[in-house]
Every structure is written in structure tokens, then in C-alpha cells.
Amino acid sequence: MRFFTKNRSSKKRIIEEWVYEQVADELGNGEIRKGLWTKARGLSEGDTNKCESIYIQLRAESIVDEAKVLNEACELVARNEAKRAAKSATEQQVQASKAEKEQVSDAWESQLLLSIHNEDYDKVHGVMRSGVTIPNEEFAEKCRFLLTKCKSQDLVNLVTFFLKQSNY
């Protein structure tokens, strides 16, 4: 356990060194944050040497704070992107499911019409028991038309009953 504590403090020291190096580079280039410099002057009570020391500490803290804020913003963007991606994936799954249901429904409808045409009572009965519903008036009319050609009265009665159950 102690290894991890030492490792964490090592990382902290490396980051701290980098931050102070950034401050030194800024000072070397004459880049001074006016707000922080003014605060440092106030805290140093006019002592120039103290003022620069306090400014260095304040600027180092502000670099760390800026990094934290930037990190939080990046995490927020990443969370929002993940939410959007999840929502998009869910919507795609819903669309795929709808398309699949439509394909299955179309297949069952075709099977029902073909079975009526072939006068296959058992297949018609099986399709009806599978939970297929009459989707619209046009499909009901196709069924009725096929029944006019049908010789099996049992099949006619079965399909007529099914149409009535579906309010057609």
C-alpha cells in the first residue's frame, strides 16, 4: 500500500515541477496576469521580493485550477457525447426492431394469402393462431377476394371469422 502512496506523491511532485516551470517561462517572457499580480501586491504589503514570490504561488495555483476546470469540461463533454451515442444507438435499435417487425408481418401476410389461395386450412389456421392481425382494409379485401375462389367452406368460415375478429 505504501508503494502507491509514494507513487502518487511522485506524480504530484512531477506535475508541481512542470507547473512552476510554466510560471517561470511566463515570467521570463514578461507574461504577467494583472489580477494575480495585483492580489500578490496586496498580500505582500508592498514588499517587491515578497510580491513576486506570492505571485508565483498564486499563478501556480491558477494553472492547476485551470487544468481542473478544463478536465471537468472535457469530462462533461465526454458524458454528453456518451449519452448522445447511447440515445442514438437506442433509436437505431428501435428502428431496426420496427423494420424487422414489418418484415415479419409482411412475411406472415404473404403466407396467409398464399395459404388461402392454396386452400391449406391447417396453414391458414396456424398463421391466424400465431397472432397475425389484419393490418388494413386493403388486406381484408384481398382475403375476401381469395375466398370467392375458395371451394372449402370450412376455410371460408375460418377466414370470415378471422376477418370479423379483426373488425373487417
Alpha carbon distance 83, 68 (integer Å): 22
What mean pLDDT is reported for the chain?
Answer: 89
What's the pLDDT band for 49 if we cut at 50, 70, 90?
confident
Query: Per residue in 56-73, pLDDT tens?
Result: 999 999 999 999 999 999
Whether residue 107 is predicted with pLDDT greater than 90 in this model: the reply is no
Q: What is the mean pLDDT of residues 34-55?
A: 94
Q: How far is CA 37 from CA 48, 50, 84, in A?
A: 11, 11, 43
- pTM for the whole thing? 0.52
